[in-house]
Amino acid sequence: MGTKVLQPRAVELAGLPDHVTVYEVGPRDGLQNEPAVVPLEIKLELIARLVAAGLKSVEVTSLVRPDAVPQLADAEALLARLPVTPGVRHPVLVPNQRGLDRALANGVHEIAVFASATESFAQRNLKRSRADSLHVMGEVAQRAREHGMAVRGYVSMCFGDPWEGQVDQGEVVGVATELLAMGCGEVSLGDTIGVATPGAVRSLITRLVDAGAAPGTLAVHFHDTYGQALANTVEALRCGVTTVDASAGGLGGCPFAKSATGNLATEDLVFMLDGLGVATGVNLVEVARTSLWLARRLGRPSPSRTVQALARGLEHD
């Protein structure tokens, strides 16, 4: 018999929102960094389990060139078999007009586009200048909206860049506000290499709000390289942000930035928010059980501290 699964005591703190949307990126951002291709059946079951656990926003794949990210080369096959669940969003990452063509052909309703705050990462990841990439994203966003699609924007390297070092927050503000101006309903601020600390988070969000960005149009996407992701999340919530990106089991990184380690784990985030009395609608035990199931199929333990702590008390599938 396993040990009892201990749920956190809910004690509210002033200045936090009543509800937070957990934007799950594991099936896309998590699996794209795997050294081996994960079978389609496993991907479909992972998405189904995450939805069953209460996650309403699950980014499922990326329509990039198969040779660029071979782990997601089965995108069309996945979309063809993906069930429609009322009230659940399944965004797809789209890099260019060709990717948008594929999204339209596969009945996608919501896309995400991505830009870099730095020139170096734009050249390495997007293979074009930052200005050119923003121009492409603007054309993609406009056409997507003409077809009734919702559009989300990502900004990479918001706090630090492995080639340029510290990033000028004014540059981040410029890119993020341009994404909002081109029609992105939400812009996610990415700490791609995990170097942000709470003061930097507050400073950046304050500058964005001063530049006209409403906190409700911003999301945060933290990596836990230096163990700061949860502290940074709390500070973002205190600044009025109510959408937090996370990856089940802490999977992921960035295949184009080798210093990037795992994303903020969904379980670590939900455990903390449950303990703060902040509603997410996500069942912590079921997400942890899903990550244990996936870890066994990937052949290694989950890096999530919460998954590790709950493992003994959960039934193994």
Q: Which domains does the chain have, with CATH numbers?
A: 21-313 (3.20.20.70)
**Inter-residue contact 76 to 102 (CB < 8 Å):** yes
pLDDT value of residue 271: 97
**Inter-residue contact 207 to 173 (CB < 8 Å):** yes
pLDDT value of residue 254: 45
Q: Apex CA 216: angle with CA 210 and CA 220, to 5°? A: 90
Q: Which two tokens stand for residue 104?
A: 């339209």
Query: In the block, which residue shows the tokens 């802490």?
Result: 250
Nearest to 166 by CA among 197, 208, 195: 195
pLDDT value of residue 4: 65
**Inter-residue contact 204 to 222 (CB < 8 Å):** no
Q: Which two tokens stand for residue 231?
A: 């502290």
**Inter-residue contact 112 to 130 (CB < 8 Å):** no
Rounded CA-CA distance 70/27 in Å is: 14
Q: Cα torsion at 133, 136, 142, 145 (round to 10°)?
A: -80
- Is residue 254 flagged as an active site residue? yes
User: Cβ atoms within 10 A of the Cβ of 306, count?
Assistant: 23
What is the strand order of the sheet 150-156 is part of? 57-58, 21-24, 243-246, 218-222, 186-191, 150-156, 110-116, 92-93, 61-62
User: Cβ atoms within 10 A of the Cβ of 133, count?
Assistant: 24
* Average pLDDT for runs of 10 along the chain of length 317: 71 96 96 91 98 98 92 96 95 96 97 94 84 94 98 97 93 98 97 96 98 98 95 98 97 53 91 98 97 93 92 69
Considering the candidates 158, 184, 239, 254, report the single residue annotated as catalytic. 254
Q: Which two tokens stand for residue 79?
A: 């979309």
pLDDT value of residue 125: 77
pLDDT value of residue 261: 60
- The pTM of the full predicted model, rounded to 2 decimals, is 0.94
Rounded CA-CA distance 141/120 in Å is: 23
